[in-house]
Amino acid sequence: MHDGTHWNFHCRASIGIFHFIKRKKKFSELHEDWEKDYGTQRFKYKDLYFATNGFKEKELLGTGGFGRVYKGVMPNSKLEVAVKRVSHESRQGMKEFVAEIVSIGRLRHRNLVPLLGYCRRKNELLLVYDYMANGSLDKYLHKHNKGQRLFTLNWSQRFRIIKGVASGLFYLHEEWEQVVVHRDIKASNVLLDSELNGRLGDFGLSRLYDHGTDPQTTHVVGTLGYLAPEHTRTGKATTSSDVYSFGAFLLEVVCGKRPIEQIRECESVILVDYVYDCWKRGDIVEAKDVNLGVDYIVEEVELVLKLGLLCSHCEALARPSMRQVLRYLERDLALPDLSFLSLSSMGLTSGQCENFQDFGMSYASSSMDRPFSHTSSIAESLLSGGR
């Protein structure tokens, strides 16, 4: 009897040790010496696991090309967060990558989603953001799940969101201590707070460099339809390539259409081409979202559509800076005449880029970094090659 009790005790002890090791392994993380400096911005994986109920499907907020985002409530503080799980292809460059993420955590602007910190586990990086109550903008522009939008945003709401995102981008490009190139501007990365203010989020692909210096060449990242042509050629992500993505975003918000929409199996509509055609026909406002109804200001809709075309120019030097974009949106600066624009196999172009200074526009020089282009030839070649 004594032997049996002794055996049961050892058996239970062994099972306990096994479960302890298994649990410890389950919540294991990667820690390296250089991360000690980031202590306050590093989250425990265990806390994020319990906050999201084990990353259960019911907590899933959205899925993108670079990860899945879950809603969470932190166990102790009860703070609502959004947790993005990002796979990092290799440990090479991880130190620099995390250093940039931590730097981005110091950004403070009313139109940016605060990045609270990160967690590293195996080959996975988890980014922790403030939770935005009304989710991503794209759910209000495009049909989802059961073929419905959440609800239609009116024009004043859309225009306020556009100006808010422009203000946030200007802060990233010019007002912060370093230049921050976002590299993935699109409606699904713009989140709406409880008052439907637009906040640019998802800085997992962002890159930083010092003012007055050239950005380094990186591999091409971003989303098809929003990538500037020069970024796909050079691999350089710059403020000018961000402006290109912002141009695609402007058209997306006003038109309620994605930059590239597949209408049939072998047929797609390129949004910038469609808006350009409406402009050439003398009725650019025709391109607006049919769900806007009649309650909108024609001059504002026209302004944003024309600005979307201007930002979508295939020549980086022909695009305005975000400082100028803000001045256009606030009507402090008149838009240049768009008659120089033409549509070629390269997308929106013109033969007089060298004369653009005559329009009172000072263009960002060689700071161009962007995701994939929504211009005709690039979009079509990418689509024909299969996505």
Collect all residues with Cβ–Cβ distance below 8 Å to 365 and sequence separation of at least 6: 317
> Which residue, 259, 210, 235, is CA-closest to 373?
259
Collect all residues with Cβ–Cβ distance below 8 Å to 254 and sequence separation of at least 6: 158, 287, 288, 289, 301, 304, 305, 308
Degrees (nearest 5) of the Cα angle 104, 106, 111? 80
Say how many CA atoms lie within 13 Å of 150 toward its Cβ: 12
SS3 content of the chain, % helix, strand, coil (to 5): 45, 20, 40
The CA–CA distances, whole Å, from 251 to 174, 260, 307 equal 24, 11, 9
Coil, strand or helix at 385: coil
In whole angstroms, what is the distance from residue 74 CA to residue 374 CA?
39
Helix residue spans in 115-154 (DSSP H):
138-141
Contact 382, 372 (CB under 8 A): yes
> Which residue, 116, 107, 109, is CA-closest to 77?
116
In whole angstroms, what is the distance from residue 304 CA to residue 307 CA?
5
Residues annotated as part of the active site:
184
Q: Let me know if 273 is exposed, middle or buried by CB neighbors in 10 A (0-12, 13-18, 19+).
A: middle
Contact 317, 258 (CB under 8 A): no
In whole angstroms, what is the distance from residue 375 CA to residue 267 CA?
15
